[in-house]
Structure 1
Amino acid sequence: MTSDQETRPGIGEVAKDLGTGKIGFVMGEEGGKVQLRPLSGGIEWDAEPGHVVTPPAGEKLSAQVAVENDRSRWGV
């Protein structure tokens, strides 16, 4: 296992794609890419493995609060 695999968030964990700046759940790996799904659900996107990191606590919390605010506002 490479050091980047040892430090990268695992399946089901919240991660940040440094290539796009988006935060999502790690869904798996396929074809050398990491699949991430938005916290609010939706279509997965592919990220370069070296771009997938654990987001800082403040960014993670902010993203989660935004999702919950949308759910309470729009009932989704």
Structure 2
Amino acid sequence: MNAPYAGAPPPPGTAVRDTARDRVGIVMGHEGPHLQLRPLSGGREWDAEPGQVQPLTPAELLHARLAEVNERSRFRPG
């Protein structure tokens, strides 16, 4: 697992884990001292503290995306 960001916050488009909520999201922007994160597959943004987000490795990002696809496939109407 990666260390939280120190110094400058991650730029928009960066995939991160919000350790306070144990959620993965994409940085959409910055509002005051907070980051706005959105789930990988879209949805409602939430605020996160920059010191409580960690960058995702490529393997962690792949794992998170596969977990979302698997979750959506379980609840497919049919």
TM range (shorter): 0.7 to 0.9
**In the alignment, what sits opposite 2:51?**
50
- How far off is 1:65 after superposition? 0.9
Once the two structures are superposed, residues 9-46 of structure 1 have per-residue CA deviations (whole angstroms, 9 ceiling, x without a partner) of 32011111111111000000002100000012110000
1:4 to 2:7 alignment: yes
After TM superposition, the score normalised by the length of structure 2 is 0.73
Where relative contact order (Cα < 8 A, 6+ residues apart) is larger, the structure is 2
After TM superposition, the score normalised by the length of structure 1 is 0.75
Gaps spanning 5+ residues in structure 1: where? none
State how far apart, in whole Å, the 1-side matches of 2:11 and 2:69 are.
23
**In the alignment, what sits opposite 2:60?**
59
* 1:53–1:4 Cα change, 3 Å: farther
Two-structure CA RMSD over aligned residues (Å):
2.0
- How far off is 1:70 after superposition? 4.2
Gaps spanning 5+ residues in structure 2: where? 1-5
Amino acid at match of 2:41: S
